[in-house]
Structure 1
Amino acid sequence: MTNDLEQAKQPVSAALAGPYGHPFHPILVTVPIGAWVSSLVFDIGSRIVDDPGFLARGSLWLIAIGVIGALAAAMVGVLDLMAIPTGTRAFRTGLTHMGLNLTVTVAYIVAFFWRRATSAGPGPVAIGPLVLSVAALVALAASGYLGGKLAYHYGVRVAAESTQAQGYTRSAA
C-alpha cells in the first residue's frame, strides 16, 4: 500500500503534469470553474436588466472560455489519473471525477451551440440554457467534491508528510 500511495504522489510527467508537490491540474481547473460560474451570473443578470444583450453575449464567451480551460485541465488531469494505481478506491474516485467533468464539459458545449442557434438577438438568455447551466454547475460541484477527496483524503499528487514536515521545522532565531 505504501508503494501505491507514493506512486499516486509522483507525477507521470513533471514537465506536463507539474513537478512533485505542485500539480498543474488544480491551477487549470480555476479557469472553467470561474468562467462557468460567471456565465451563470451573466445569465441571471440578463433576465433582470433592461438591456440584456451584452450579458447574454458575455455569457456565451464565458462558456467558450470555460470549455477551452476544461479541455486543458482534462489533459493534465488524465496524467494525474494515470499515476493512481488501478483497482483502488482512489482510482475509482478519479474515474468518477473525470466522468462527471467530461459530462459537464459536454453539457457546456451543447449549451454553447444551443445558445448560438436560438439567440434571438439582444434578448435575455432563454430559460432552457439557463437551467442547463444550473444543472451543469451542480454536477461540477459534485465533481469538485470528488477532486477534493482525491487530494485531501487520498493524497493524490500531494507531497508526502515527510516533505510537508519540512515546512514546520523551526529555524533558529
Structure 2
Amino acid sequence: MSGADAAVPGPSMAAAPRSGASFPAMRAAKVPRTIVAGPYGHPFHPVAVTIPIGAWSSSLVFDLLGVAADDPRSFATGSRWLIAIGLGGAVGASVLGLLDLSRIPKGTPAHRTALVHLTLNVTAMVLFSIGLFVRMLDLGRVPGVALALSLIAAAGLSVSGWLGGKLSYRWGVRVADENTQREGFETS
C-alpha cells in the first residue's frame, strides 16, 4: 500500500468495497427531482445561495461602515437594499433546496443534516426580515438591534453553509456518482 493509499479513508481490504453507484439511497439523492433543480451533476441550489450569502455579507460591511460613519444614512440605505435582495434570493434558493431535500431518503444522516441546514436558513431569513422591519422604523442610521440580528443570522448561516458543504462534498447529495466522476480522471 502506497503512502497515498494509506491517506485515503475507505473500507478496509477485508471488507468488500461498496460504491455510491451501487447504493440505491445514495443514487436517489444524486438525481434531480425536476430539471428546475438543475440537470444531473449540476444542481442549481449551490449557485443560487451565492445571492443571499453575498448580499447579506455585504449588508454587514455596510452596517459596520454605517456605525463608524459621521453620516450613516447612505450605508443604512445600502444595507437595507442588500438585506431585501438577500431575502428575495433566499426564497429562490429555498425552493431549489427543497427540491434537493426531497430526494434525500428520510431516516438517513444526510436527511437529518439537511433538516438542520434548512432550519438554520429559515431562521436566518426570519432574523433578517425582522431586522429589515426594525431598520424601516429608523431610516437614518443602523439600529443596534438590527445589527445584532444580522450578526446572529450570519453566524447561523456560517454553520448552515458548513452543513451544506458536508451534504455535497462528504455525502455527495446531487453530485454525480463515482462512475461519472471517474470519466474526468481517465487518460486517453
Q: CA deviation at 1:153?
A: 1.1
Q: Match for 1:78 among 87, 94, 98? A: 98
Distance 1:17 1:31 in 2: 16
- Superimposed CA distance per residue, residues 27-74 of structure 1 (whole angstroms, 9 cap, x where no aligned partner): 000000000000000000001122211110000000000000000000
Instruction: Show the counterpart of 1:143.
Output: 160
1:117 is displaced (CA, Å) by 1.6
TM-score, normalised relative to structure 1: 0.94
TM-score normalised to structure 2 length: 0.86
- Cα distance between partner residues in 1 of 2:28 and 2:118: 19
Distance 1:31 1:76 in 2: 13
**Cα distance in 2, alignment partners of residues 118 and 51 from structure 1:** 14
Which deviations, in whole Å up to 9, do the C-alpha atoms of 1:112-148 show, x marking residues without a partner? 11110233x3xx3121111111110000001111101
**Would you say the 8 A contact 2:41–2:174 is kept in 1?**
yes
Instruction: Give identity over the alignment, percent.
Output: 51
1:44 is matched with 64
Match of 1:162 in 2: 179
Runs of 4+, deviation exceeding 6 Å:
none
> What number of residue pairs does the alignment pair up?
167
Aligned residue for 1:134?
151
For structure 1, the residue ranges without an aligned partner over 5 or more in a row are none
Bigger Rg over Cα: 2
Can you give the 5+ residue segments of structure 2 that lack an aligned partner in the other structure? Answer: 1-21
Matched to 1:63, the amino acid is I
CA distance in 2, matches of 1:131, 1:2: 45
Which residue of structure 2 aligns with residue 93 of structure 1? 113
Match of 1:63 in 2: 83
Match of 1:17 in 2: 37
The Cα shift of 1:5 comes to: 0.4
